[in-house]
Structures are given as C-alpha cells and as structure tokens.
C-alpha cells in the first residue's frame, strides 16, 4: 500500500463497501477465548450494539458473523474490518491530519497496536491480557477518521474505546478526552466487567493501553532496573554481581524484567508459559538464553552465579514448577517476585501448574469454575515454594500485579500472624519512599519523526540537564539523580526501543520540566526534526490511586480513596495536555484502582513551553502534596522544596500528633 492509499484508508472510517473477510492469522498471538457470560437476550443486545456502527444494508451479513465471533471468542472484535495496511507508528508527516497534535495521537495509537509491541494485536489488546486500546475495529476506524478531520476548536470524546464524537471546544482544551471502564462503584466487580465488556459497552484500558501511551517493554524497564538495584542494595548481602533474581512473565510489561536485571548486573531467570511471547522477547534481544528443561536451567544458573555473570534466562514453562525445583535443589535465590497478570487470573492472566497453555485456554472457557479451582491450587503451591526460599534468605516482593491479593483469596499461606501480608509491595519498600514521595516517576517521550538520530539527540539533552541537576542536588536525592544520569547515558547502548522511537526516564518535577523545555528549544532550532510527545506511565507520583501498589505506602487511612488520580486528570486537562485519560483498573485489576495519564505534544513554540511548564508542575506536585499530607517525610521535604522555588504554590502541611498523647487517651 502506497502513501496515498494509506491516507485514503485512514480517512475512510466505516467503509461504504463491505470489506472481505480477513483470515485468522495463526502466526499472531491471540487473546484466549473469553468465557460465555451472556444470556440469550444479552447476546442479542451485544449484536445489536455492534451493528449500530454500520448501515442497515450490512446487517444481514454482519449479524450472523458477529454471533459467530461472540460464540467462538467471547467478544465481538469485528475482524473483517481490520485495516489492510501494516500497523506501526509512522513518521508524523505521513498521517492525513489537519493538526500535528492529532497526527501525534494517531501515531501513538498505531504504536499501541503494532504486532511487535502489542500482546494480542488483532484483538486490540496491548498488554496485561486484557488491556485494550479499543473494543473492536469499527471504533479504531472511526477514531482515526475523527482525528484526521478535527480542528483546533474541537475535542474528541472517547467512552471506553467508543468515539462518541467531535464536540466544539477551544485551542487550549485537550484534543482528546479518554475514559475507560468508569462504572457505578457497586457494579465494578470482575464478573460485571466480563458481562459489560462482552456487551460492548466498556473496556479495561489497563494504564497506557487505553490512553495511547504505551512504548513497549521499555516503558517499565527503568523502574524495574531501579527496583532491582535498590532491592539488592537494601536486602541482600555483598555486591550485586552474581545475585539471582527469579520471577515470571515475558508479556508487555513483565517482559522488561530480564533486560532490567542484566542492566542491574544480576543473574535473572523468568518463566513464561506462552512460547510465542518468549520467542518474541528473545528475538528482540530482551532475554539472552532460553531453556525448557529445568535440570539444564539449574546447571546454567549455578554456573552464572559462580561466574557472577550479568545474564538473563527465559524458562519456557510454568513458574510454579520453577519455584518448586529451586526449592528442591536448594538453590540460593537472592531476590524474587512475580509478574503474571493476576489482575485477570481466570481469563488468561495466570496459567495454573499441571495444565498446558492450550489446556488452560480451553478450560477457562468451557469450565470456568474448575479452572478457578486449578488457579487457586497453583497459587497455594507457588506461595509454599516461595515461603521455603524466603526462610533461607530470599527477599520477595509483590510487583503490583495483585499477587498477594489473589494468593490470599486462594487460601495460600501469604498472611502474617497479625493478618497483614507476609511480603511487601515494591512501592512500600522501594518505589514509594525512595522515588514517588520525592516526585520521581516514569517520565517518557516519543520522537514523532521516527528517526533514531532524533532520539539520540534527546538522550544527549536529557543527560546534560540531569547532570547539572545532579551536581546541585541535595543529599536526600543524590543517589536517585546519579542513577538516572547513568541510565540515560547508557540508554542507547542497552537497545531499548521496540516500536516507536521512545525513551523512559525516571525524573522529578524539576527534571521533567527542564528536559521538556530543552527539547522544545531544540525543536525550535531544528536540532530535533519534528514534534516530541511527552507523557508518563500512570504508575507515577500522582496518576494512580491503588492501595496495593502506587499508594500502598500511604498510611493515614486514605489509601482506598481516589481523589488524587481524579484531580490529576482534571488538572492536566486545563493546564495544557494534548490528551488526557482516566481509567478504572490497571495493574492490580478492575475495581481495585483508579488511574489517569496524559499526552502533551510539543512543537518548539512558545505556546508549547507555556503548556508544559503549567501542566508538568501540577502533574507531579499534586501527588507530592497528597503524600506529604499523609505524613510521608520524604514528600514533606519535596513539597517544602517546591514551595520555596514556586511562591504561587501554597500547600496545607500536616502537623504531627504526639503518640504518647494518643496512647494515653485509651488507657
């Protein structure tokens, strides 16, 4: 397809002529069949909902086709309407849009659905087993048409993948406002998600899937690297070299673990049951060696430990078998975690021991209750093996995937005598007190030219800015700054790019703002050849309220509230964001978290500098202020420092109560 044909296809929307049926491509990783949860009347409603995207003349052909998809796959994806062009991020000038801002969003959407990036691209799922960009291909087609046609006085409204339409607004408004999975609270259970998603009225946007901000496994690799570095520094004996890290998952986010471990200097072993996922990561250079025989793997682990290698190994098999073999052979494991998609344990997020991948995919659809029982049995075995190894000195943590939560629901021995979890969340021990409370989080950017040389230039600029900040940084954040300088200097060498020309960098408010200003100036002077999209993971200082992950180190009783994330979404929208998003679910699961994000396209203009200065300041300091109010001392330090720099910032500070006074009240 040539460039003109591509532009015509992007502008087509719903085609006037019914396209031919697409073959089901077995070379692509597909979502497992979802369980049948709809009644007969609800199935009729699901098909009726799907048909409303199309003229009545198509209905007689599409209705039985959509019923077949619903029965066969558990959802209506509208495979027939999958575009003929290749799905990947193109240079921004190749998109037929009236605005650079909207062209940049089109680029980001296509990157989220790139087969090299997405977990199940034909089902429009980017990562996490069910983290969707859209519910069906009609929504994709309409959205791209709207983005191409819209002006600076319109805003596109997105309801859980559905493009509600273009509405009059103004140039300072976001070009797109996204919500995903926003439910009445009493109807936000896991079973209700299955029902309403099958009906085609809501979706699970994960974090950066439904907000068009995913940049492949690189998006989490810096955070994973600093987590592993600091876990080793704080909880293991001796130097980092030769220490063994064991975990699971080679999917969208979990695929970062092996690369991060090697960057940190560890021996890493990560299990993955899906051979296609493991093959993809091996081909992309994100895992060094692959094994399917546990005895061979054990021998290689012992060799790597002895030689103190920095090496990653993928085990194609079940994580429970790996943990049990390590315990049986008395292998010294220093660090352990889990990144199975346990936010979605019964629909492809967790594969129980004793069943193959194919057997699990069949059982979860045909006998969901038996599959649930198998998952619970498997979690009990997994926790038992982990408990054996922690008694021998392994430091284990929950990686924010609901492992502890689901293991406790399974009846595993995961609770301490006082009723709390035996093991911490990584945010409680590491990410919260060392990073989020100080305002450090996963800042990211994408070079819309698609040129590697532009990305290299941004790396150089970011390294220069950070080095100047590190030289003047207070002692409280000196280690964090030095680690970040080292990270960005080594980023190109570590070959992190999968999909768009993007970079991840943990930075605080000062760092994000000064780096963004320097990028904007470089675009203005032509040193960077095209606009740059700024963003972040929702897994950040302010973006997410999640009591089992991002806000697990909030101890004032407010961890179950969601004001911070909602306020962040609202505040970003009128401070300059190009697009904003707010999601139910993400990381730990539907109904367990509220999170939001943004995209901000900078083009070298004075207006772009105004926007980025206003928006980035709020986007970070909102969360620091909330964490300070929760009496987190690092956040108190950070917000007082921010108020000194910005006189307009005036934050309510907490007064400490005397513990003896409180204790005496109840004697």
pLDDT tens by residue, 453-489: 999 999 999 999 999 999 999 999 999 999 999 899 9
What percent of the chain clears pLDDT 70, i.e. is strictly above it?
100
Task: pLDDT band for 432, please (50, 70, 90 cuts).
Answer: confident
Long-range contacts of 252-255 (CB under 8 A, 24+ apart): 252/117, 252/118, 252/119, 252/126, 252/127, 252/128, 252/131, 252/214, 252/216, 252/217, 253/127, 253/128, 253/217, 253/219, 253/220, 253/339, 254/339, 254/340, 254/341, 255/217, 255/281, 255/286
pLDDT, one tens digit per residue, over 163-192 is 999 999 999 999 999 999 999 999 999 899
- CB-CB neighbours of 665 under 10 Å: 7
- Report the candidate in 590, 587, 582 with the shortest Cα–Cα distance to residue 563: 582
Check residue 401 and give its pLDDT. Answer: 83
* 7 phi/psi in degrees, rounded to 5: -60, -40
Task: Give the distance, in angstroms, between the CA of residue 620 and the centroid of all CA atoms in the same chain.
Answer: 18
3-state secondary structure (DSSP) of residue 418: coil
Please answer whether residues 127 and 119 qualify as being in contact, where contact means their C-beta atoms are separated by less than 8 angstroms: yes
Does residue 399 have a known ligand-binding role?
Answer: yes
How far is residue 481's CA from residue 465's CA, in Å, rounded to a whole number?
Answer: 11
Partnered with residue 289 across adjacent β-strands are: 313
3-state secondary structure (DSSP) of residue 35: coil
Does residue 591 have a known ligand-binding role?
Answer: no
Query: Does residue 662 have a pLDDT over 80?
Result: yes
Please answer whether residues 244 and 301 qualify as being in contact, where contact means their C-beta atoms are separated by less than 8 angstroms: yes
Partnered with residue 335 across adjacent β-strands are: 245, 395
Check residue 166 and give its pLDDT. Answer: 98
Does residue 24 have a known ligand-binding role?
Answer: no
Task: pLDDT band for 280, please (50, 70, 90 cuts).
Answer: confident
Check residue 425 and give its pLDDT. Answer: 86
Domains of the chain: 3-127+134-199 (no CATH), 218-423 (3.40.50.10730), 432-659 (3.40.1770.10)
pLDDT, one tens digit per residue, over 200-227 is 999 999 999 999 999 988 888 888 998 9
Q: Report the pLDDT averaged over residues 73-79.
A: 97
How far is residue 110's CA from residue 97's CA, in Å, rounded to a whole number?
Answer: 14
SS (H, E, C) 75-133: CCCCHHHCCCCCCCCCCHHHCCCCCHHHHHHHHHHHHHCCCCCCCEHHHCEEECCCEEC
How far is residue 280's CA from residue 275's CA, in Å, rounded to a whole number?
Answer: 9
Residue the block writes with tokens 């492809």: 348
Average pLDDT, the chain: 95
Dmax of the chain from CA atoms?
80
Does residue 128 have a known ligand-binding role?
Answer: yes
3-state secondary structure (DSSP) of residue 595: strand
How far is residue 521's CA from residue 335's CA, in Å, rounded to a whole number?
Answer: 43
How far is residue 123's CA from residue 383's CA, in Å, rounded to a whole number?
Answer: 32
Does residue 206 have a known ligand-binding role?
Answer: yes
List Cα–Cα distances, 84 to 108, 149, 164, in angstroms: 19, 21, 25
In which element (H, E) is residue 198 found? Answer: helix 190-199
Q: Report the pLDDT averaged over residues 42-63.
A: 98
Please answer whether residues 550 and 436 qualify as being in contact, where contact means their C-beta atoms are separated by less than 8 angstroms: yes
- Report the candidate in 530, 527, 548, 528 with the shortest Cα–Cα distance to residue 539: 548
pLDDT, one tens digit per residue, over 530-567 is 999 999 998 899 999 999 889 989 999 999 999 999 99
How far is residue 505's CA from residue 331's CA, in Å, rounded to a whole number?
Answer: 34
Highest mean pLDDT among 75-84, 243-252, 420-429: 75-84
Check residue 252 and give its pLDDT. Answer: 66
Please answer whether residues 200 and 49 qualify as being in contact, where contact means their C-beta atoms are separated by less than 8 angstroms: yes
* 605 phi/psi in degrees, rounded to 5: -90, 160
Check residue 253 and give its pLDDT. Answer: 66
Check residue 187 and give its pLDDT. Answer: 95
How far is residue 253's CA from residue 126's CA, in Å, rounded to a whole number?
Answer: 10
How far is residue 4's CA from residue 351's CA, in Å, rounded to a whole number?
Answer: 45
Q: What is the CA radius of gyration of the chain?
A: 24
Q: Report the pLDDT averaged over residues 292-299.
A: 97
Range from 22-26, 79-83, 255-259, 595-599 carrying the lowest mean pLDDT:
255-259
């Amino acid at each position: 397809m040539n460039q003109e044909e591509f532009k015509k296809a992007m502008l087509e929307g719903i085609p006037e002529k019914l396209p031919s049926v697409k073959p089901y491509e077995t070379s692509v990783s597909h979502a497992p069949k979802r369980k049948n949860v709809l009644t007969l009347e609800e199935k009729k409603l699901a098909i009726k909902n799907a048909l409303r995207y199309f003229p009545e003349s198509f209905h007689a052909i599409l209705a039985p086709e959509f019923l077949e998809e619903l029965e066969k796959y558990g959802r209506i994806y509208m495979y027939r309407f999958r575009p003929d062009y290749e799905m990947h991020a193109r240079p921004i000038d190749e998109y037929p849009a009236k605005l650079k801002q909207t062209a940049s969003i089109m680029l980001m959407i296509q990157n989220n659905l790139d087969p090299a990036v997405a977990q199940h691209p034909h089902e429009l799922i980017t990562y996490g087993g069910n983290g969707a960009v859209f519910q069906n291909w009609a929504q994709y087609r309409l959205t791209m048409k709207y983005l191409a046609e819209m002006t600076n006085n319109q805003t596109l409204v997105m309801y859980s993948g559905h493009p509600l339409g273009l509405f009059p607004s103004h140039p300072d408004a976001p070009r797109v406002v996204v919500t995903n999975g926003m439910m009445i609270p009493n109807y936000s259970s896991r079973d209700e998600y299955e029902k309403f998603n099958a009906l085609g009225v809501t979706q699970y946007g994960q974090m950066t899937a439904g907000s068009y901000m995913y940049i492949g496994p690189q998006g989490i690799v810096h955070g994973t690297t600093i987590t592993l570095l600091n876990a080793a520094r704080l909880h293991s004996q001796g130097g980092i070299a030769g220490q063994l890290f064991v975990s699971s998952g080679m999917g969208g986010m979990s695929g970062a673990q092996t690369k991060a471990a090697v960057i940190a200097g560890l021996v890493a072993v990560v299990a993955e049951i899906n051979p296609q996922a493991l093959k993809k990561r091996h081909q992309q250079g994100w895992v060094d060696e692959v094994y399917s025989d546990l005895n061979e793997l054990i021998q290689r682990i012992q060799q790597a430990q002895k030689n103190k290698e920095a090496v990653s190994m993928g085990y194609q098999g079940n994580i429970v078998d790996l943990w049990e073999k390590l315990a049986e052979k008395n292998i010294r494991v220093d660090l352990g975690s889990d990144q199975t998609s346990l936010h979605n344990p019964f629909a492809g997020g967790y594969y129980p021991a004793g069943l193959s991948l194919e057997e699990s995919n069949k059982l979860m659809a045909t006998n969901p209750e038996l599959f649930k029982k198998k998952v619970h049995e498997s979690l009990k075995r997994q926790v038992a093996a982990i408990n054996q190894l922690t008694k021998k000195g392994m430091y284990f943590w929950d990686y924010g995937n609901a492992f502890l939560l689901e293991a406790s629901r399974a009846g595993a021995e995961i609770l301490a005598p006082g009723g709390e979890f035996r093991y911490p969340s990584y945010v409680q021990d590491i990410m919260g007190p060392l990073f989020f409370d100080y305002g450090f989080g996963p800042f990211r950017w994408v070079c819309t030219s698609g040129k590697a040389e532009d990305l290299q230039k941004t790396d150089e600029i970011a390294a220069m800015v950070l080095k100047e900040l590190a030289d003047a940084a207070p002692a409280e954040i000196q280690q964090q700054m030095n680690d970040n300088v080292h990270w960005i200097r080594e980023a190109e060498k570590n070959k992190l790019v999968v999909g768009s020309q993007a970079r991840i960098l943990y930075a605080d408010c000062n760092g994000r703002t000064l780096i963004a200003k320097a990028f904007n100036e470089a675009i203005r002077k032509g040193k960077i050849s095209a606009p740059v999209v700024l963003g972040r993971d929702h897994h950040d200082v302010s973006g997410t309220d999640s009591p089992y992950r991002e806000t697990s180190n909030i101890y004032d009783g407010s961890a179950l509230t969601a004001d911070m994330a909602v306020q962040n979404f609202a505040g970003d929208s009128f401070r300059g964001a190009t697009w904003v998003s707010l999601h139910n679910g993400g990381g730990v699961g539907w109904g367990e978290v509220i999170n939001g994000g943004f995209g901000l396209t900078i083009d070298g203009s004075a207006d772009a500098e105004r926007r980025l200065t206003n928006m980035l300041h709020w986007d970070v300091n909102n969360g620091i202020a909330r964490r300070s109010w929760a009496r987190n001392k690092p956040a108190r330090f950070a917000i007082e420092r921010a108020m000194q720099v910005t006189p307009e910032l005036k934050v309510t500070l907490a007064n400490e109560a005397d513990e003896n006074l409180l204790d005496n009240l109840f004697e």
